[in-house]
Amino acid sequence: MKKLLSVLLISSLMILSIGSIVQAQTTVEVWHYFADSEGMEYVVEEFNSSHSDIKVDSRFIHFSELENQITKGLLSGDVPDVLITGSDTLAKWAENGALLDITDRAKEWGVKDNFYKGGWESGMYDGKLYAIPQNINTLAIFYNKDLFEEAGLSGAPKTWDQLRNYAKKISQLGEKTHGLTFSATKDESGTFQFAPFLWQSGASFENVNGEGGQAALSLWQEMIEEGYTPKSVLNTPQYELAVNFAAGNVGMVVNGPWALSAFGDAEFDYGVFTMPVKKDVGIPYSVLGGESIGIMKDSENKDAAWEFIKFFNEPDVIKEWCKIENRIPGRKDVVNNTPRWSEDEIMLVFAKQLENAKARPAHPKYPQMSAAIQIAIQDALTGGNVEEVLDKAQGKIDSVLSD
């Protein structure tokens, strides 16, 4: 009987111990907008299999809905622990107190110098760090080598005038063939794609209605009016542009390295070149993009969330994630030591383009500035007067900046 009681007591203690372990496991909820992401599945599985005390749940929210969901969550108190989002929105969430200041945590981590300076600074607001650059990217121009050869073109266009001429010659190859496509959608993708041309013209987000801004928007308007670019770009997101390019009827497409995942079935040779320049400015500016990863200030699992962020940015983990997702790590040490980026012909061009990539304004009212530019793009590309639509946009931007 004593032996039986001992066995029962030990069994009960084991059950209680196992129950305590299960109860002690912390669940970290991560929100992101990577659709059908094998990369996220990989990271979550790797983390969960190597951490018995922390479990990560990953939730996909469509890019167009993420901001609304965060806003609703802040009002209801139902927020994630970790947020992965575009660097362009971080200033807004930092300014309104939604994100946790991780400056001290990052300092103790001690890996700042392993990241690209521009990427690291994109996670900062008002001198404090709120997010770690998960990946960085920029825009360049992919081109169809077969169409270039058919149109009698050699080498990449270096200037706006050459870009226009190349687009014209390619468009003349057939009624369903277009020289150049870009995303002019009424969302952040449209602003993101327009930014390089805006900066190449000498204009800025704060000053869009001068001669430079008018030249940039006129270039896009002319491409559509002349038929070099299809009007459908007003409603075509970046990834769909890549799919259309892979079909073989587009000579050039403005896009990022993520587009490579859409080119698998392309039946032609393609390459990529850095942005052309406006002669009187002469700098091939592009836009610095990518996603950053931060902790929500109202998270009840801040330490566990920080463990996940550090894990995500470990060299082997972020390298594999970026290889799966066709992106560029925010860590320069990973880029420099991985043939995928240090030797690959395509990725080398994007690495070169990063040298002249600029971040969008780190301003809490940036989304309103961007919205004003999006409307101007849509109005101009549907027949509006460029000077007039940019004057309206400038008025909205001035109002936002003066608040």
pLDDT reported for residue 370? 96
Mean pLDDT (whole number) for 301-326: 96
- How many angstroms separate the CA atoms of 323 and 378, rounded? 35
Q: Per-residue pLDDT averaged across 209-236, rounded?
A: 97
Domains 27-137+289-358 and 140-287+365-402 belong to one CATH topology = yes
Compute the average pLDDT of residues 75-104.
Answer: 92
pLDDT at 37 over 80: yes
Q: Could you tell me the CA-to-CA distances from 41 to 30, 37, 304 in Å, in that order?
A: 12, 6, 19
- Return d(Cα 172, Cα 292) in angstroms, integer: 42
Confidence check: pLDDT of 43 > 60? yes
Domain regions of the chain by residue span: 27-137+289-358, 140-287+365-402
- The β-bridge relationship of strands 328-329 and 132-137 is antiparallel
Confidence of residue 238 (pLDDT cuts 50, 70, 90): very high
Greater confidence (18 vs 198) lies with 198
pLDDT for 7 beyond 50: no
Distance CA 196, CA 277 (A): 10
Fold of 27-137+289-358: D-Maltodextrin-Binding Protein; domain 2 (3.40.190)
Residue 381 has pLDDT above 90, yes or no: yes
Query: Quick check: 173 pLDDT over 90?
Result: yes
32 vs 63, residue with greater confidence: 32
pLDDT value for 326 = 84
CATH (one of 3.40.190.10, 3.40.50.720, 1.10.1040.10, 3.40.50.2300) for 140-287+365-402 = 3.40.190.10
93: closest CA among 104, 82, 108? 82
Contact present, 85 and 292 (Cβ < 8 Å) = yes
Confidence of residue 285 (pLDDT cuts 50, 70, 90): very high
What is the average pLDDT across 9-22? 50
Is the pLDDT score of 13 beyond 70? no
CA-closest candidate to residue 286, choices 336, 234, 328: 328
Is residue 21 very low, low, confident or very high in pLDDT (cuts 50, 70, 90)?
very low
Strand order in the sheet with 270-273: 178-181, 250-255, 140-144, 270-273
Which candidate, 355, 354, 330, places its Cα nearest to that of 133?
330
pLDDT digits (tens, 9 = 90+) for 339-377: 888 889 999 999 899 889 998 988 888 989 999 999 999
Strand partners, 329: 135
- Give the pLDDT band of residue 117 (cuts 50, 70, 90): confident
**What average pLDDT does range 50-56 have in this prediction?**
96
pLDDT at 10: 53
Q: pLDDT by residue (tens digit) across 203-222?
A: 999 999 999 999 999 999 99
Average pLDDT, the chain: 92
- pLDDT band for 403, please (50, 70, 90 cuts): confident
The stretch 262-281 carries a mean pLDDT of 94
pLDDT > 70: what percent of the chain?
A: 94
For the ranges 80-89, 151-160, 372-381, the lowest mean pLDDT is seen at 80-89
2 contacts: CB under 8 Å, gap ≥ 6? none
